[in-house]
Amino acid sequence: MVTISSQPVGQAEPPRQIRATPSELKNCKYDAANVQAALEALHQDGFVVLKSVVDVAHVDSLNSYMSKEADEIVKNNSKPFNQGVKSNFLQAPPLKDPDYLYDDVFFNPFVIQLMNAYLGANPIWAFVTGNNALPRTHGLRQPVHKDITFFHPQCPFFVIANVPLCPFSPATGSTEFWLGSHASTSGADQVLATPEAKLANAKLRVGEPNTFVRPEVVEERRKIRPPIQPTCEKGDIMLRDLRTWHAGMPNESDQYRIMIALGYQAQWYPNHTLRAKLPLSQGNFFMKHGGQPVEVRADLLPDDSDFGKLNDVFSFRSSLD
């Protein structure tokens, strides 16, 4: 079942939600009606919420582990802040301990089914990280941006699946999304990098986009379709076309707001260097890809590697650029 808003232009419309039927949950596969609804949301909004497709016990387990890890990161100041705002940082999920490797998180069948439909057959999984919005970051928000530092294609080429590890709402720092912004945006909408420009988790080229959307472009878009902060529950997954504008928001709660991020690339898109950094000891889990129709591109490295920092370094840029 899909929830669709029909509010007039210029008002904030909630994101569309896809709810699997009992039969679909049993078969781990959406029927045609829900596939169509999800694809319509992705093509028109650049965003969709898949409801209740992850075991909540798995979510709680990951959240417990990553919250303890976050305590150490904050204590040691060992991570750069994302987008230059001292409110959140990248934090990858645990990859070495098999107790935290869940197929419904890393190789969710509903996600991969939709990625095959939206991006084309056998999409590539080559990206894993996460985002932690720190507690009590009152008033701190990121600029509106895209996670893209180049002149990108104006068609679907990459999608991020976010797995929230706690209830998402404006109170907990639910990410701001600009639904529909992906459909006509280009690198011309973004601020161009200068020789002085720096970004913690990306390399910039002078004269190319530096992720931030130009303020005047943002304000024009606001008149057409203002942004939203989705409300999600544990067990949901959010799918975002990489071109969709978004911004990290203040987390008013007393708890970390963590979400895992998994990235899927279209086979036709010529990025030949992006690879997840994964522990050799868990190679069988990852390379079996949960039996799903997805290609895993990864470097399997010694277990004593710092996978958190290694997976913080990535580029979605075409290898032809």
Closest listed residue to residue 172, CA positions, set 88, 275, 288, 66? 88
Does this model's pTM top 0.75? My answer is: yes
Closest listed residue to residue 225, CA positions, set 253, 244, 242, 249? 244
Q: What's the CA gap between 137 and 81, in Å, rounded?
A: 13
Residue 2: what pLDDT?
Answer: 39
Domain ranges of the chain: 13-21+29-310
Closest listed residue to residue 275, CA positions, set 291, 292, 295, 305? 295
CATH architecture of 13-21+29-310: Sandwich (2.60)
For 144-167, write each residue's pLDDT tens digit: 999 999 999 999 999 999 999 999
Residue 24: what pLDDT?
Answer: 98
For 22-37, write each residue's pLDDT tens digit: 999 999 999 999 999 9
Residue 7: what pLDDT?
Answer: 39
Which distant-in-sequence residues (6+ apart) come within 8 Å of 293 by Cβ? 112, 116, 121, 122
Using the predicted structure, report yes or no on whether residue 54 has a pLDDT greater than 80: yes
For 162-210, write each residue's pLDDT tens digit: 999 999 999 999 999 999 999 999 999 999 999 888 776 677 899 999 9
Phi (first) and psi of residue 275, to 5 degrees = -145, 135
Structure token pair of residue 216: 């005047």
Structure token pair of residue 49: 């919420």
Q: What is the mean pLDDT of residues 248-259?
A: 95
Amino acid at 159: V
Closest listed residue to residue 315, CA positions, set 199, 161, 188? 199
DSSP run (H or E) holding 235? none
